[in-house]
Amino acid sequence: MALIGETTGPVSPRDALMRARQRAALMPDCLVEARRIANTVISGWHGRRKRGIGENFWQFRPYAEGESLSRIDWRRSARDDHTYVRDREWEAAHTIWLHADLSASMRYKSRTAMVSKESRALLLMLAIADILARSGERIGLPGLLQPLASRHAAERLAQALMVEGDLPGLPEPNGMRTAADLVLISDFLDDPDLILARLKPLADRGIRGHAVEVADPAEALFPYAGRTEFVDPESGARLTAGRAETLGEDYRTAYQARRSYLGERLRQMGWHHIIHQTDRPASEPLMALYNTLSAGSGYRQAGGGR
Amino acid sequence: MSALGFASPLVLAALLALPLIWYLLKLTPPKPMVEVFPPLAILAKILRREETPAQSPWWLTLLRMLLAATIVLAMAGPVLNPKQAGLSTAGPLLLVVDNSWAAANDWPERLSAAGQLLDEAEAANLPVSLVLTASDRPDATPQAVAEARAQLTAAKVEPVPANRATLKTVLAEGLGSTRPGTLAYLTDGIGTGEKDATLATLSALGPSEIRLITGKDEAAVAVTAVRNLTAGTEVTASRLSTMPLELPVTAYDRQGRSIASDVIRFSGGERQAKAILPAPLELRNEFARISVGALANAGSVHLLDEGAKRRRVGLIGGDADKSERPLLSPVYYIRRALSPFADLYEPKDAALDKAVTELLAAKPSAIIMADIGKMPPDAVTALKGWVEGGGTLIRFAGPQLAAASASDPFATVPLRQGERALGGVLSWSEPQMLAPLPQDGPFAGLDQPTDVHIRRQVLAEPSPDLAAQTLASLEDGTPLITRRETGRGEIVLFHVSAEPSWSDLPLSGHFVELLRQLVQLSHATVNAAGNGKAEPLPPYRLLGADGVLVAPSGAAQPLNPARDGSGIATLAHPPGLYGSEDGYVAHNLLPPGSTLQPLNSAVPAGVTISRQSILGEKPVDLTPILLALGVVLLLLDGLAVLWLNGLFARLRQVTAVLLATALVLTLALDARPLLAEDGKPGDDLLLQRLDTTHLAYVMTGEQTVDDISRAGLYGLTEFLTYRTALEPGAPQGVDLAKDELSVFPLIYWPVSAAAPMPDQKAISRIGAYMRSGGTVLFDTRDQSEQGLTGDAVTPNGERLRQILADLDVPPLEPVPRGHVLTRSFYLMTDFPGRYAGGPLWVEAGQGTNRTSDAAPVSADGVSPILITANDLAGAWAIDETGTPLLPTVPPDETQREHAYRTGVNIMMYMLTGNYKGDQVHVPALLERLGQ
């Protein structure tokens, strides 16, 4: 009987070099695919006239007492007895932190999945980076790369990952400032309370989070049966089930309970929770992520909606 | 009784290795699949509840241990009921089989036990001497096994006891000086009494080995006696075993219905027991069969004949001088009446005293005296003693009795001297009929004789007891038959003579019935001490060995009750009923007072007898069974291992899908015949036409005409939709030869001479349509061509005549005044189309003023046919924009409006029938409207 799940890549976390090389080999593909998917997404949003941030006229509104006189649009005000202020679209570039969990548990891939979770997470991160970079957003990797606004941010990101190699399961809170977005891609299989304890300071600081939970279908469905020994890829712990099929029901209940608990708590923090399974195409979470980012971004709100 | 032996018991030592196997089995659990699983933390929370099996489940271990044990046991060659030592080869096998009544209930087992012995003899190539103790000619000559087996197979259980007396002779004759090897005695366990010498006889033959094979001795229970006591019927039964026992006792009547039952209790150690069936005497007389216990055999069933025994009847009274003229002799009538169901005995001597003596010697149940007035004192004394001892004396009156003195010793009631004549020449009274027979006496169940007239009788003196003594009386209440009980017997007197001079009674069927009842009531006399001259009785029904009465067959011979009736049943006289349907004697297996005695087990010293039961003796080799069990266990083990490894869990989905598919397929296959394909082409069109009312026109085949028709009906449809509640669907062109017509209320038929003539079939369909309530509106559209006179025959009119020639057209008339058509929606007087002035012809007799006497023929008063020449469709025809296609003649839009109104009225007339015609107040309404 063929095994249901496997760990892609080397098992030992200390073999950094091998992983770096493997990731380097993975990167171009990811980049290309990320580009392709990002193009799809952007084309879907074309015609929204968001190029040239901060340059476009948005609206005239009556001048209110106390505002700077320099903001008055005299040409408009001269046409009648009122004084108007010219409002423009959002001018400042937004900072978006990206983080993907690249721990050992992410390198899991089951038979029903297309790719491993790590591959999908990297893909998502690079793709969203590419999209955001083209929108002129500032993109950063917490603890690894300071925010930068560049058309080639995705390449820079990949380069940084190649050089640095590993990313911790959760982002370093250092350096992240207020009014930034954080895109967090992980499988969130650790204790939800630990995760939330790490994320809570960030949320308190005013950072808006977008948690993308990447799951393997085998993890959600538990298709195991018979006498099975389960091995944790991170800790190496082993667990033997006499008849795994009898556990399925309970496991799925617990799995969904953890997910809904996590999602509920994240929503309470004002964060988004996007669930993605690796047997689905990557464009789906990307679209969802893009929607939450664009709909919830500060400049969108400042602009008064579309 | 069953024993277990092993062919090679040493192999069983391998069972000692079982603990080692158990230890080994415990050590090797099945290897798990190793799976990487990141969410192990979640799984760990769930798995904590379940004990992780670190080794094989206990039941798997048990299964494997069982498997090992089974194989070890199978190797040891187990045999159930290991065979005894084989037959002695010193001489022939002597097989003595009791096929007596007590062996009936386990006869197949006995046969099988005997067959087994025969098998062994065949294997040892021994001759067999087979003796069936209850057969008529037992033969102990040694013979080949095959012959013995055939003889054994043909043997059946006989409803008689085993014949032990002749056994010695039979054995001596058959065997001669041959000493048998093994002597096997399949016995029923019943000995001949205290001095039973059966076993001694057998052992005297000097066999090498004696096997006494016994069956269930609980079956040997026999009814030995049945007696009538005052409290009830006493049943005595005897048995072989000495265990405390309770058995049901049931009495059955002649139809086999159980009418009384009780329980007979054998106390421990007793072989005899009695039970009393409490029942009234009348019911006891119905007893025909008494059975004991649940097992039916010849011994447990006791036959009774008390109610059915033929009575012996003595007959006195023949006048010697009347023997020349038998029809005047009363004895003649009595003899003819009783001879079918009673043994008649007539004394040879005519002298009364000698005749009575002779009669009483024959011990009759009843004596009939016909017209005996005076008797000699000796005869009186003897007869009186007999009557008081239980005899029934039946007397008939007559001239001599009438003349006898009142001191008649056998008179039932005090009699007046002389007789009473009814209906004579000098008498005013009419011959009397009998009153209904009292239903509480001996004649209960007989209906009232209506053909009997009593012309003369002797009269009883009135007395207080007279009514109680009267068994039958005349219509005026005069006693006709009286009775007196004396001692245990009774005297019955018929107050008329037994010949037809006094009454019609001797000629009536009731005479037979009355006598028969009286004789049946008389006590049956046991003629055990009789002279033995009684007729031998042929077998009537014989008791089979299974306790069931069957028709006689075989060797049963007629039974002389006096000689053979008291003995033990033999093959010549098996138990059963002897006689005929009218009277029989029961002959039972055991005579009264006999008991069942077990075989005397005392045998001469030095002879050992091995006893065994006929049951459960066959050795059974258990090795194949155990091996099969081992294979099954092995398969189970394999399945269990597969199951533990989760194969079935993965297969389950596939199996479920397969099962579901099979189920669906089965259902589909099953369901297919249920859905008979009864659709026909054109059904959907038909349904569509049924859903909505459509205006229809006949497609004549002429394009222009059909176009105008469709446009016209379209226009009318629009008009109807706009003006009325009727909203018809699109107009339908109808092909008369094919389309279903009955869905249309009205068919518009523009008659065109240029169109092809519809064929006969189409016209007959139109006829059927008109008969079934449809209406055809013929339009010849030629009003303008009819000229000034209007009676010129146009081509269209000619065509219409051709069409109508074959149709059943009612008498027609132009729409009369007051016709429903004139007011079914609009009030109209004429019905124009494109042309005005042409009449609209309808069926005659529908107008209010009855211009015609013809009664409406069609349902609801709707004319089946409308004929016009005004080209209605031409006036109605519009195009899609609502513009009229054709001008009216003369061009007058009012006329077109009236044409539409004509169409509306026609449609309303079609759909509502004579509804408008029903209105009682229409004249008043019209008057109010100024019409």
* Residues A62 and A185 placed together within one structural domain of the fold: no
* Residues A138 and A247 placed together within one structural domain of the fold: yes
Residues of B whose CB is below 8 A from A278: none
Beta bridge partners of B696: B732, B747
Q: Is a pLDDT exceeding 50 seen at residue B476? A: yes
Residue B607 tokens read as: 């002879």
Separation of alpha carbons A196 and B636, rounded Å = 52
* Residues A83 and A116 placed together within one structural domain of the fold: no
The residue among B456, B312, B276 whose CA lies nearest residue B386 is: B312
3-state SS class at B391: coil
Region A252-278 average pLDDT: 90
Listed in order, strand segments (DSSP E) in B677-722 are 694-698
Q: Which residues of B405-434 are buried (b: 16+ CB within 10 A; e: fewer)?
A: eeebebbbbebeeebbebeeeeeeeebbbb
Select the residue of B31, B36, B646 nearest A244 (Cβ to Cβ). Answer: B646
Select the residue of B33, B645, B649 nearest A3 (Cβ to Cβ). Answer: B33
Handedness of CA A261, A263, A265, A267 (dihedral sign): negative
Query: How many angstroms away from the CA of B885 is the closest CA of chain A?
Result: 58
Confidence of residue B632 (pLDDT cuts 50, 70, 90): very high
What's chain A's average pLDDT?
74
Question: Which domain range does residue A168 map to?
Answer: 5-49+92-303
Select the residue of B40, B644, B649 nearest A230 (Cβ to Cβ). Answer: B40
Region B373-400 average pLDDT: 84
Region B633-645 average pLDDT: 83
Cβ contact B42–A243 (<8 Å): no
Residue B850 tokens read as: 């009855």
Query: How many other C-beta atoms can be found within 10 angstroms of the C-beta atom of residue B652?
Result: 13
The confidence score (pLDDT) of residue A45 equals 34
More confident residue, B101 or B285: B101
Separation of alpha carbons B161 and B154, rounded Å = 19
More confident residue, B489 or A136: B489
The confidence score (pLDDT) of residue A21 equals 46
Separation of alpha carbons B453 and B506, rounded Å = 11
Report CA dihedral (B237, B238, B241, B243) to the nearest 10 degrees. Answer: 40
More confident residue, B11 or B319: B11
* Residues A29 and A74 placed together within one structural domain of the fold: no
3-state SS class at A147: strand
Confidence of residue A78 (pLDDT cuts 50, 70, 90): very high
The confidence score (pLDDT) of residue B83 equals 61
Cβ contact B33–A232 (<8 Å): no
Q: Is a pLDDT exceeding 50 seen at residue A17? A: no
Cβ contact A224–B35 (<8 Å): yes
User: Are the CB atoms for A123 and A29 separated by under 8 Å?
Assistant: no
Cβ contact B649–A187 (<8 Å): no
Select the residue of A187, A240, A243 nearest B646 (Cβ to Cβ). Answer: A243
Which residues on chain A place their C-beta less than 8 Å from a C-beta of chain B? 1, 3-7, 105-106, 108, 187, 189-191, 216, 219, 224-235, 237, 239-247, 250-251, 254-255, 258
| pLDDT per residue as tens digits for the range A29-39 | 545 555 555 65
Confidence of residue B347 (pLDDT cuts 50, 70, 90): confident
The gap from C-alpha B393 to its chain's centroid, in whole angstroms, comes to: 49
Q: Angle between the A16-44 and A283-296 helix axes, to the nearest 10 degrees? A: 70
Nearest chain B residue (CA) to A254: B42
Which of A38, A71, A88 is the last residue before a domain boundary? A88
Of the listed ranges B95-99, B277-281, B361-365, B820-824, the least confidently predicted one is B277-281
The confidence score (pLDDT) of residue B543 equals 84
The confidence score (pLDDT) of residue A264 equals 92
Tokens 């095959």 belong to B146
Region B349-354 average pLDDT: 76
The gap from C-alpha A114 to its chain's centroid, in whole angstroms, comes to: 20
3-state SS class at B290: strand
- Indicate the pairing of strand B841-843 with strand B301-303: unpaired
Confidence of residue A180 (pLDDT cuts 50, 70, 90): confident
The confidence score (pLDDT) of residue A148 equals 79
* Residues A69 and A123 placed together within one structural domain of the fold: no
Separation of alpha carbons A228 and A222, rounded Å = 12
Q: How far is CA B774 from CA B696, B859, B907, in A?
A: 12, 9, 12
- Indicate the pairing of strand B549-550 with strand B539-543: antiparallel
Separation of alpha carbons B149 and B95, rounded Å = 11
More confident residue, B242 or B406: B242
| pLDDT per residue as tens digits for the range B442-475 | 777 778 888 888 888 888 888 888 888 888 888 8
* Residues A163 and A84 placed together within one structural domain of the fold: no
Of the listed ranges A166-170, B21-25, B234-238, the least confidently predicted one is A166-170
Q: Is a pLDDT exceeding 80 seen at residue B582? A: no
The confidence score (pLDDT) of residue B54 equals 54
* Residues A200 and A69 placed together within one structural domain of the fold: no
Region B6-10 average pLDDT: 77
The confidence score (pLDDT) of residue A11 equals 33
Q: Is a pLDDT exceeding 70 seen at residue A263? A: yes
Q: Which residues contact A62 (CB under 8 A, 6 or more apart)?
A: A82, A83, A84, A85
Q: Is a pLDDT exceeding 80 seen at residue A273? A: yes
The confidence score (pLDDT) of residue B852 equals 41
Of the listed ranges A287-301, B53-67, B890-904, the least confidently predicted one is A287-301
Q: Is a pLDDT exceeding 60 seen at residue A100? A: yes
Q: Which residues of B120-159 are buried (b: 16+ CB within 10 A; e: fewer)?
A: bbbeeebbbbbbbbbbeebebebbebeebbebbeebebbb
Confidence of residue A48 (pLDDT cuts 50, 70, 90): very low
- Range from B570-584, B670-684, B712-726, B913-927 that averages highest in pLDDT: B712-726
pTM here? 0.39
Confidence of residue A299 (pLDDT cuts 50, 70, 90): very low
Region B840-858 average pLDDT: 57
The confidence score (pLDDT) of residue B561 equals 67
Cβ contact B42–A226 (<8 Å): no
Q: Is a pLDDT exceeding 60 seen at residue A13? A: no
Residues of A whose CB is below 8 A from B647: 226
Region A217-228 average pLDDT: 84
Region A17-30 average pLDDT: 47
More confident residue, B923 or A277: A277
The confidence score (pLDDT) of residue A298 equals 37
Region B810-826 average pLDDT: 83
The residue among B411, B396, B512, B414 whose CA lies nearest residue B456 is: B396
Select the residue of B30, B36, B41 nearest A231 (Cβ to Cβ). Answer: B36
Region B367-379 average pLDDT: 82
Separation of alpha carbons A138 and A130, rounded Å = 11
Separation of alpha carbons B455 and B512, rounded Å = 19
Q: How far is CA B616 from CA B83, B458, B477, in A?
A: 11, 80, 77
Strand order in the sheet with B366-370: B342-345, B311-316, B366-370, B392-396, B489-494, B479-486, B470-473
| pLDDT per residue as tens digits for the range B782-804 | 877 766 555 667 888 888 888 88
Select the residue of B37, B47, B53 nearest A5 (Cβ to Cβ). Answer: B37
Cβ contact A230–B37 (<8 Å): yes
* Residues A78 and A212 placed together within one structural domain of the fold: no
Q: Is a pLDDT exceeding 60 seen at residue B380? A: yes
* Residues A179 and A69 placed together within one structural domain of the fold: no
The DSSP 8-state label assigned to residue B94 in this structure reads E
* Residues A23 and A120 placed together within one structural domain of the fold: yes
Rounded to 5 degrees, φ, ψ at A75 are -60, -45
Q: Is a pLDDT exceeding 70 seen at residue B281? A: no
Query: How many other C-beta atoms can be found within 10 angstroms of the C-beta atom of residue B808?
Result: 12
Confidence of residue A149 (pLDDT cuts 50, 70, 90): confident
What's chain B's average pLDDT?
79
Region A174-201 average pLDDT: 83
Q: Which helix (H) or strand (E) holds A204?
A: helix A192-204
The confidence score (pLDDT) of residue B341 equals 74
* Residues A204 and A248 placed together within one structural domain of the fold: yes
User: Are the CB atoms for B537 and B579 separated by under 8 Å?
Assistant: yes
Q: Is a pLDDT exceeding 80 seen at residue B193? A: no
Count of domains forming chain A: 2
3-state SS class at A130: helix
Residue from A232, A256, A261 whose CB has the most chain B CBs within 10 Å, to mutate: A232
Q: Is a pLDDT exceeding 60 seen at residue B855? A: no
Q: Which residues contact A175 (CB under 8 A, 6 or more apart)?
A: A140, A142, A143, A146
Q: Is a pLDDT exceeding 60 seen at residue B210? A: yes
Separation of alpha carbons B345 and B334, rounded Å = 12
Nearest chain A residue (CA) to B34: A229
Residues of B whose CB is below 8 A from A189: 38-39, 41-42
User: Are the CB atoms for B151 and B114 separated by under 8 Å?
Assistant: no
The confidence score (pLDDT) of residue B689 equals 79
- Range from A57-66, B14-23, B42-51, B863-872 that averages highest in pLDDT: B863-872
The confidence score (pLDDT) of residue B1 equals 42
Residue B451 tokens read as: 């053909």
Q: Is a pLDDT exceeding 80 seen at residue A1? A: no
Cβ contact B33–A227 (<8 Å): yes
The confidence score (pLDDT) of residue B900 equals 92
Residue from B33, B58, B647 whose CB has the most chain A CBs within 10 Å, to mutate: B33
* Residues A194 and A83 placed together within one structural domain of the fold: no
Task: Give one DSSP letter per residue of B578-642, joined into a string.
Answer: EE-SSSEEEE-SS-TT---EE------TT--EEEEESSS-S-EE-HHHHHHHHHHHHHHHHHHHH
The confidence score (pLDDT) of residue B618 equals 62
